[in-house]
Every structure is written in C-alpha cells, then in structure tokens.
C-alpha cells in the first residue's frame, strides 16, 4: 500500500468538510475507507460523519402511537397499522 499524496489528503479533507459520504470520496479519490477514516480522525475530527441511507418515515411519536393502539386492541395487524399511519402522515407506508 502506497502513502497518499498531500494533494489527495487535502482533497479528502475538503470533501469530508463539505459533507460527502465515504463512498463518494472513495469513488473520487481512489482512497480506501480505512484511509479516509484515518484522515478524518487526524485532520478534521470535529466534522460529523455522514449517516447515509434515507431518513426514517416514522417518528418516535408514530412508533409509540402504533404500539399503544396495538396494545389496546384498536388495530390487530401490520396492515391496519400501516393504513392508520399512512392516514396520519399523509404518506404511503407499507407493512
């Protein structure tokens, strides 16, 4: 494994500080995830790591509400729960 050039490290730090994901940085620079992690820890530890993925559709309140209506017997299954939550959130939620 060869050491990364100073310009590559500078590019990685710049991409990290602008919120790019590790996968995006890896694709642009060719650096491994381990190298990116090491640079992140050494040069910009204050920058939050991108969590990636997609945002949750259900809030904590939605989850607690669903648990409560299941416990009280108002709904019996996942299909009924998804229909109720879809109505509350004005969004499609599938079981």
Q: 27-74, pLDDT tens digit by residue? A: 999 999 999 999 999 999 898 876 667 777 788 898 899 999 999 999
Residue ranges making up the domain that contains 84 = 60-89
DSSP per position, 74-86: S--SHHHHHHHHH
Angle (deg, nearest 10), helices 22-29 and 6-17:
150
Whether 23 maps to a domain, the answer reads: yes
- The pLDDT value recorded for residue 50 is 65
In a domain, 34, yes or no: yes
pLDDT tens by residue, 78-90: 899 888 888 888 8
Q: How far apart are CA 32 and CA 4, in angstroms?
A: 10
Q: Identify whether 13 is part of a domain.
A: yes
Number of domains in the chain: 2
In this structure, is residue 51 part of a structural domain?
A: no
> Is 48 part of a structural domain of the chain?
no
Q: Does some domain include residue 53?
A: no
- Does residue 64 share a domain with residue 37? no
């Amino acid at each position: 494994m060869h050491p990364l050039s100073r310009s590559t490290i500078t590019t990685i730090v710049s991409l990290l500080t602008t919120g790019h994901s590790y996968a995006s940085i890896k694709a642009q620079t060719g650096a491994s995830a381990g190298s990116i992690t090491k640079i992140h820890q050494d040069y910009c530890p204050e920058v939050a790591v991108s969590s990636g993925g997609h945002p949750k559709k259900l809030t904590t309140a939605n989850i607690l509400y669903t648990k409560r209506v299941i416990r009280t017997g108002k709904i019996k299954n996942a299909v009924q729960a998804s229909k109720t939550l879809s109505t509350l959130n004005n969004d499609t939620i599938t079981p």
